[in-house]
Structure formats: structure tokens, C-alpha cells
Structure 1
Amino acid sequence: MESVKSQSYEVHIGELAKAALNQHIAKSSYSKIFVLVDENTKEHCLPFFKKMFDGSVDFILEIRSGEENKHIHTCLQLWEDLSNLDGDRKSLLINLGGGVLTDMGGFVASTFKRGIDFINIPTTLLSMVDASIGGKTGVDLGSLKNQIGVINQPQMVLIFPEFLKTLDPRQVKSGYAEMLKHGLIMDKAYWNSLAEKSNFTDAACIQKSIALKNEVVLQDPTEKGLRKILNFGHTLGHAIESYCLDNHDKKTLLHGEAIAAGMILEGYLSHELQGLSKLSLDEIKKIFLTHFEKVDFTDDDIDAILQLLKYDKKNSHGNVNFVLLHSIGKAVTDIKVPEELFQKAFAYYKE
């Protein structure tokens, strides 16, 4: 399986990943090697990692899993751990976990001693096809997603599809949403093939999604223009995710579940504002609702979700900017949406 070359690093898959890691460690003079895990990856993934890693790990750092722990207080704990264990600027941090852990681990490494090397080993489908590319690191501010962070590249990203066997089906489907998004914004043929697939976790599909995202990031590393298309479904999706995370009477949604709802909603806005055909819109809705349970939104929920849009990272000069679809496979950025269309979009979703 061919590796994918991003800005200053490569994404290696399977046996190539194992070889790349051991070669890198052998030629690097790291003073200490730390591995960051959560309780799930400690149990299910760390034993596999130790078997295929020829080097020695100096310390295992552990945090609690879940988006609710992706905040600065966890970072403070990790910075203190690294300092107390005599971590220095020649240390390496290996992040073994899903997107929450690799986002936060990358941020901790990027800021400790003004930056130490880190390697990401994503263990969920979502983190493999999304967080593995682009160098975005960071944490949430309260329930607001990814408000604090930096863009900084790892030494490498290592993909082991075996880890997907440790996940429950809901976690796997969360990553499927991001894969479908890659097709919607860039590649209609990929969208069509994914929509019909019963097995979307094979290495070829994972590599294709990584390559599509990488194609965008290489052209626009710091999200000044084209890279914004990767946010399709995320403006409303992140608001939905934050709202559900912050309200205990609502079911907490995984990232992909919230983004799936966001893509239907923003698909409707695309139909109204960018000429996405009704046929394509209905196809998008059908595919996502086939795989993702419909979220129940009350009128009060919708009002609260729309209030959260003002915190979206893509906002500029007081405007909420959307990524919309002109057609399946072609996205457009920086679209302003009239407020009256939001209620119509939710009404279409609820139909």
C-alpha cells in the first residue's frame, strides 16, 4: 500500500508504517520516548504497538477518553507529566488514539519546550481519514470545538487498519461520514462507490480519503482558501455537536454523527443558494439517514444551535461563512446564508 506524502511528512499504512517507525527511531537520537494513550487504547492498542515497535518506550502517559476531556486542563496535566519525567526538547511524543487524543497530543507536543517531535498513530477510522492529514492540533474551549490550537506537522502518521477491529460499529460509522464528505466536496465517483459499499474500512478506501484530503492541504496548508472546503457540513455540524455535548438531556453525538446531520442541512442550503439539484439533495439525505440515526431537534434546540454559529472558526468580520455544494463533487466557500433559510433547512431535515 503506497504511502501518502504530505507537506513535511508521510502517512504510512500497514507494514510500511511499521518499517517507517522503526527506521525513524533508529536514526533519531531521542532522549526519551513517551507514548500517550487513553484507557481504551491502553487496553486494546498498546499491546499491538509494543509488539511491532523495535525500540523501547520510556514512559506511558494516560488521559481519559472522550471529547469532554479535550480541554486545557488535560494539557496542563500532560505538560506537568512531561516536565516531572524530565522530558526535554529532544523527547518524542507518540500519540496512540483517536482524533481527540491526536489533536490534543499534537498540541501538547507543539507547545512543550516550544515544540518537541511527535508521531500520530490514529486508532479510529475518523482519525485515520481526517485528523491524520493537515497538522491541525488543539483543544476545545468549554463546549466550543477546537477554539485553541496551532497548525504543526508531525514527523509521520502511521495507519494500522487492524485497530479498527477494536471499535464498536458506531465509532466506525463516525469515520464513514468524513469519507463520504471527501466524495461530496471533491470526487463524485468516490461518493458513488462509497455510498454503495458495505465495507468501507479496507485499506484502499482509507488511502483514497487520505489522498483526497492531502491534495487539498498541499495546496492550502493554512486554510486561506481551498482548504475551507473540508469544512462542508461542519458549520452547523459543530454547533450541533457542541450543543449536544453541553446539554445533558440530549444524547451526546459522535463527531461523524453530528457532521452527517450538518451535511444534510448544508446540502439544503446548497440547493437554495448554489443550485445543487433536488435530486442530489435527496440522494445526500437518503444516504446519510440510511447510516445515521435522525437527530430529534425541538424548536428551542434549533434556536440554541443557531446561536452557537457565532463561535465558528471560519467566521470573518462578524459574518458566518459556509461551505456549500454546487454539485456533488464540487464545493464553493465563503457563502453567506440568509437567516430565514436555517429554519427551512431544519424543516427539510425533519421531514
Structure 2
Amino acid sequence: MANPANKGIVYYSAEAYNQINDYLNSNKPSKVFILVDENTHELCLSKFLAKLKDASDFEIIEIPAGEENKNLETCSGVWSALSELGADRKSLLINVGGGVVTDLGGFVASTFKRGIEYINVPTSLLSMVDASVGGKTGVDLGNLKNQIGVINYPEMVIIDSEYLNTLPKNEMRSGLAEILKHGLIKSEDYWHRVSNLANLELQDLDAIIKESVDIKTEVVTKDPFEKNIRKTLNYGHTLGHAIESYFLTHESKTTLLHGEAVAAGMVLATFISKKLKNFPEQKLEQISSKIFDIYGRIEVDQNDIASIIDLMKFDKKNERGNVNFVLLKDIGEPEIDCLVANDIIYEAFDFYQEA
């Protein structure tokens, strides 16, 4: 569904809790359910509940943490729990967690009894600046990312950066990758500001989160169903998702966080942009150097590349059998629906390994 004017609004800090308390008081859902994973149940739930005026009757549903649990089997468990606990069409689901919880919880709510209302409370940097904004919900199909889902906006999104104090450094870096992406597709000024956040200090991060959310919100408002400009938000994701999927299911590989895979995908996409769109070589070197400094380098050998390329055919941006890339003519100048030959992709991996 398209975004109604009063849905999906992002609220911050103290105002956010005032908004959710006002919502609960005025809408009076028949039952309120909170979806958490085992980590946010332990680290975030009590803080969230303490901000609510009356949470005495709320039901808590816990799912296992991790991308490997973002699937229809987990959805089935949550649907069953909702049913057994007496959820009806006037119930509300509040998703407290990272991107797995908000993506899966949004999909569960959008499909249970043909749709109940939900609210997102993202607790990771990645979900704050990406997963919880724009109404995308969904789960993976096997190792294929986000193949099943709908676009359906939450009642609201609550962002409180204090939850970031619970995150390990690698999860903060994972979220930073999406902020870096926003810089590359938006403006050189924003790229330079956010590319110097590698120390990930929480001070000043509130303003960066808000600006990143504003960038994504502006794009999805213009193109809610990803027909054109919203595709630019997938910069680095065509190869990034394929790399993430490949590493998820090969025992010899270490499972990657989403942002780690997207960071590699952005280096690859920027090299391809130089080859096909004359992206400035000096800026390619600066971007790749910055990303390598923050994320290091993923080990990919020649035998992996063919399988990774094969996985790209499942990318949701593809049309008529073509793999569509987002490329850059320059920082802040993205171009969508670009076709890339396999030999250029192999060249990009050579650059990634050797740069």
C-alpha cells in the first residue's frame, strides 16, 4: 500500500515516547504484542517498557537472533503465537530490534488476519537508518535476501540512539555502511562528513542519523514502490546482497553482517562506475581506501566469483532477465538500471583484491 500521510513518521528520543503513549491512549488497541529477539529481549526491552505509561498487559514474543532466522518458518511461529494469544484485527505489534526484527515483524503484521497495525522501534544503527524506514517488510527465501515481502508502512518509527550503547563495534560498523551509501548517492559534502565517523562515537551521531533518515525518506516519498529513484538506495547492494547470501550458506566462509557485505559491494560498484560511467579515478581510490580502512577486505577467490554472479539473478531490481546495477557518474550522481557484463565484474573483483 502507498504511504498514507500520517504513517511511517519517524520520531526521535523523548518526543518518540510521547507519540507512542498518545497513540496507545487514543487508538486503544485490543491487545499489544512486542516482538523481540533474544538479544533485544535482554538488552533493550526493559528500557523500552519503562518509557510506556502502561505496559502491564503486553504480551512478549521472542524469536532467535540472526539473519539465518529471517524466514517463513520463524514467521509461522510468530503467527501461531499471535493466534494462540488471542490477537485480532485491532491488535498492535511493536517490533523492538534490528533489521531482522523490524523486517520480519512488519511482514508478520502486514499478513496476519490480512493486516494488523505495527510500530517499529529499531535498536541497531543499520535498522535506524535503513531497515525501519520506507515501509519495506519481508523475509529471506533460503539464502536469497528479502524475496518474500510487501511494502506497508508502520504507524510510526521510534528512534532512540541510547539503544546503540548495547551494540558491539562490528554492528555499529555494519550500520555505518548504509550511512556511507547515503553519502555516495546524495552529495560529496555528506560523504566527506560521514566517512570520518569510523570511530563511531555516539556524540554527534543523532544529527547524522536524522540526516540519513531524511535522505532515505525523501527518496521513498517520491517513489514508494521502487519504480525509479528509490532504486538508487540499492547502491552497492546488487553484488553486496549476492556476497552476503553466498557467505551465509558456505561453511568455509564466515557469515558477514549486512553492512560488511554492502561495503564490499560499494567498492565493486564504484570500480564498475569508473569503467562504465567515467567515475573519477581519484575518488574511486579515496572511497575504496576509506572502506578498506573501516571494514578490511573480504577474502573472495576466483572459484567464489562465478557463484556470486549467479546469485545476482535473484536481485529484486532485475527485469526481463537483466541484472540491473546502480552506478555513479560522480558522488551524488547515481544512475539506475545499468547493465554490466560479467568480465567487468571479474575486473572489479581483481581491483577489490589488489587495491
Q: Same fold (TM over 0.5)?
A: yes
Runs of 4+ in 1 over 2 A off after TM superposition: 5-9, 196-201
- Count of matched residue pairs: 347
Structure 1 213/6 Cα, relative in aligned 2: closer, same or farther at 3 Å?
farther
Q: Which amino acid aligns with 1:55?
A: D
Distance 2:65 2:339 in 1: 36
Among 280, 285, 288, the residue aligned to 1:285: 288
State the Cα deviation string for residues 206-233 of structure 1 (Å, max 9, x = none). 0000000011001000000000000000
**For the Cα contact (< 8 Å) 1:6–1:214, is it kept in 2?**
no
Distance 1:158 1:200 in 2: 21
User: Aligned with 1:27: secondary structure?
Assistant: helix
1:173 paired to 2:173 = yes
Matched residue, 2:353: 350
State the Cα deviation string for residues 105-135 of structure 1 (Å, max 9, x = none). 0000000010000000000000000012110
**For the Cα contact (< 8 Å) 1:6–1:218, is it kept in 2?**
no
Q: TM-score, normalised by structure 1?
A: 0.97
Map 1:197-212 to 2 at 5 A: 197=197, 198-199=199-200, 201=202, 202-212=205-215
Matched residue, 1:102: 102
State the Cα deviation string for residues 63-119 of structure 1 (Å, max 9, x = none). 000000000000001111100111000000000000011000000000001000000
**For the Cα contact (< 8 Å) 1:75–1:108, is it kept in 2?**
yes
> Once the 2 structures are TM-superposed, how far is the Cα of residue 6 of structure 1 from its aligned partner?
7.4
Distance 2:262 2:159 in 1: 23
Distance 2:6 2:93 in 1: 20
Distance 1:176 1:82 in 2: 34
Matched residue, 2:23: 24
Matched residue, 2:59: 59
Instruction: Tell me which moved more, 200-209 or 270-279.
Output: 200-209
Matched residue, 2:34: 35
Distance 2:253 2:120 in 1: 32
Map 1:1-351 to 2 at 5 A: 8-56=7-55, 57-197=57-197, 198-199=199-200, 201=202, 202-351=205-354
Distance 1:200 1:246 in 2: 33
Q: Which amino acid aligns with 1:195?
A: S
**For the Cα contact (< 8 Å) 2:172–2:200, is it kept in 1?**
no
Distance 1:13 1:185 in 2: 24
Q: Which amino acid aligns with 1:247?
A: H
> Once the 2 structures are TM-superposed, how far is the Cα of residue 275 of structure 1 from its aligned partner?
1.2
Q: Which amino acid aligns with 2:24?
A: I
Task: Quote the sequence identity (%).
Answer: 50
Q: TM-score, normalised by structure 2?
A: 0.96
State the Cα deviation string for residues 123-156 of structure 1 (Å, max 9, x = none). 0000000012110000000000000000000000
Structure 1 6/187 Cα, relative in aligned 2: closer, same or farther at 3 Å?
farther
**For the Cα contact (< 8 Å) 2:137–2:150, is it kept in 1?**
yes
> Once the 2 structures are TM-superposed, how far is the Cα of residue 7 of structure 1 from its aligned partner?
6.8
Q: Which amino acid aligns with 1:137?
A: T
**For the Cα contact (< 8 Å) 1:241–1:254, is it kept in 2?**
yes
Q: Which stretches in structure 1 are left out of the alignment for 5+ residues? A: none
Structure 1 62/15 Cα, relative in aligned 2: closer, same or farther at 3 Å?
same
User: Aligned with 2:136: secondary structure?
Assistant: coil
Structure 1 251/51 Cα, relative in aligned 2: closer, same or farther at 3 Å?
same
**For the Cα contact (< 8 Å) 2:103–2:132, is it kept in 1?**
no
Distance 2:331 2:201 in 1: 19
Distance 1:84 1:324 in 2: 48
> Once the 2 structures are TM-superposed, how far is the Cα of residue 200 of structure 1 from its aligned partner?
6.0
Structure 1 189/120 Cα, relative in aligned 2: closer, same or farther at 3 Å?
same
User: Aligned with 2:189: secondary structure?
Assistant: helix
Instruction: Tell me which moved more, 99-108 or 293-302.
Output: 293-302
